[in-house]
Structure 1
Amino acid sequence: MNKKDSHDSLLVMLKKNIALWGVVAFLALVVAPIGFNIAEPYLKISITIGTALFVALTVSYFTNKKTAATTNYEVTELINNKFPKFLQIEQIGLEKIIYENNMEAVGVDLSEPAELFIAMNDGKNFFTNNSRKLSERFKKENRKTTIILMSPESESEEILNTRNGKQEKGYYANKIKDATKDFKEFHKDSPETNLLEIRYFSFNVSMSVVATEDIAIVGLYRNSAGKSLTPPSFVFKNNGDTGEYSNILKDVKNLVKASEVHWASSDI
């Protein structure tokens, strides 16, 4: 037996002895006085002291032993199974998963970032759910907002209409035109240093993106038509070149290069 094992064995024995003294105290100060009908207030004092010692020395020993066994299992589970996943999530910068596109409701303030990128197929629903914060943003100095939408003239617009069972011809084209009009209307009285650029992409956007200098939110689209199954969106924080945020921002900037300017406030 090495020194550590010997020390641990002595420590265990000492704890057991202390627990045993708690039982002795309980018998001597609680059971015996009751049995001998000791008069008050001495009986009450004796019972209080005996009970306190029993709880402190004996009950706590068994409680700690049970807790230690449970805790050791939980720690082992965390180390072996949970921590690697936590570290991987932290490394890619994933903050949380959300199921709505109201940015204020999930703690994202669209009015504050100096630069904002929005890439979506039509953007109509996003504008409706975030119009208040977008209005605030367009009133502030030194802001740049770049919006990339699917072109209303794109062949992908017709494909989306057919795929999603839209009977109205040009359904998504009309939504894109409406969203464009809404953004321009909200921005018309903005300061000169508040820039808005609306770009059209020749194809549909495979993932919606809302990106600032601090975070990027990537939204998926369901494969089946309809809105009954709300798709998830993934919130990534900017943690440098190692995280997914960096890839998302590069992808968005490549999308900017691949799209054409439809309207820009700087041209007015």
Structure 2
Amino acid sequence: MKPQKIKSYQLLILEVISLAILFVNESFFININNTIYIIILTIGVTLSTNVLAAYISDKYKNNDLNDIAAKNFVVLKSCQDYGLINIQKEFPLDSEEIQNDFVDSKNVYIIMNDAKRFISDNTLLIEKRLKKKKNSTTLILQDLNQTDVIDYHIKDLKKKCDNTHKFLFYLNPNYNTLAILLTDNYAMYSIYRIAPGKTEVPHFIFKNGCSEYDLVKRDVEKIIQMSKLQN
């Protein structure tokens, strides 16, 4: 057996011994003698942490820790700066927190090419939002063969709105490169694949208060200015 493996097994045995010491101490000595309990606790914790430190030091002895941190944590730093909190297969409207945010947000923007699947999959949730008084929901679709969507979905959604709920529908003359869902607290978007046909795409979720949320909001505001408001 290689020396490296032997040392790893030795460290593993020592870690098991330290955990056994802590277990016995917590099970028997904690109620018998406080002084003995503290001494054994100190020995067990010290042994456990030293074994762990020895393992980490041995495993990475040929690597500079700064290089390791740079390679593994630079992505996390970028995610934090952008406000990226998750990547999922769908818009996370099954999450209670985001679902409530979608329903209760003062302003919600939905920007897609046709939105047929999104509306069909989330009809009840959208209708629940449209019943919220004095809120605003803006839907922006690509201006191309949307007659079915307008006749079947949009007109029906307008009928479900509370009288004080502001429902705005725009047609965008440009091709939407992203499907966007913007609420008061989250900016969510997914990409469109280059080739035609439906396929799985990643959905990115960003929180308000970071750079990407602000960029998405600014982008949405600009596309509204370029789009045609429908009656």
CA distance 1:133–1:78, shift in 2 (3 Å): farther
Q: CA deviation at 1:191?
A: 2.9
* TM-score (normalised: structure 2): 0.70
1:259 aligns with 2:227: yes
1:174 aligns with 2:144: no
Contact 2:180–2:190, Cα closer than 8 Å, also in 1: yes
Instruction: Determine the structure 2 residue equivalent to 1:126.
Output: 118
User: What is the aligned counterpart of 2:200 among 230, 241, 250?
Assistant: 230
Q: CA deviation at 1:62?
A: 5.9
Contact 2:91–2:188, Cα closer than 8 Å, also in 1: no
Contact 1:102–1:126, Cα closer than 8 Å, also in 2: no
In 2, Cα distance between the equivalents of 1:237 and 1:60? 39
User: What is the aligned counterpart of 1:198 among 169, 179, 192?
Assistant: 169
In 2, Cα distance between the equivalents of 1:180 and 1:102? 23
Q: CA deviation at 1:106?
A: 7.1
In 1, Cα distance between the equivalents of 2:188 and 2:113? 15
Look up the SS of the partner of 1:236 in the other structure: strand
In 2, Cα distance between the equivalents of 1:141 and 1:56? 61
Identity over aligned pairs, percent: 22
Consecutive unaligned residues of structure 2, counting only runs of 5 or more, are 1-35
Instruction: Determine the structure 2 residue equivalent to 1:100.
Output: 90
What code does the residue aligned with 1:244 have?
E
1:79 aligns with 2:69: yes
Contact 1:99–1:232, Cα closer than 8 Å, also in 2: yes
In 2, Cα distance between the equivalents of 1:89 and 1:56? 39
Consecutive unaligned residues of structure 1, counting only runs of 5 or more, are 1-48, 158-171, 264-268
In 1, Cα distance between the equivalents of 2:154 and 2:193? 24
Contact 2:138–2:167, Cα closer than 8 Å, also in 1: yes
Q: How many pairs does the alignment contain?
A: 187
Look up the SS of the partner of 2:206 in the other structure: strand
Q: What is the CA deviation profile of residues 167-225 of structure 1, one whole-angstrom value per residue up to 9, with x for unaligned ones?
A: xxxxx6434543323322332xx132x11010111232110111012111011112223
Q: What is the CA deviation profile of residues 41-92 of structure 1, one whole-angstrom value per residue up to 9, with x for unaligned ones?
A: xxxxxxxx9xx98x986x8776543311234568937633333221211001
In 1, Cα distance between the equivalents of 2:48 and 2:202? 44
* TM-score (normalised: structure 1): 0.61
Look up the SS of the partner of 1:104 in the other structure: coil
CA distance 1:181–1:60, shift in 2 (3 Å): closer
Instruction: Determine the structure 2 residue equivalent to 1:266.
Output: none
Instruction: Determine the structure 1 residue equivalent to 2:53.
Output: 68
Contact 1:213–1:238, Cα closer than 8 Å, also in 2: yes
What code does the residue aligned with 1:100 have?
E
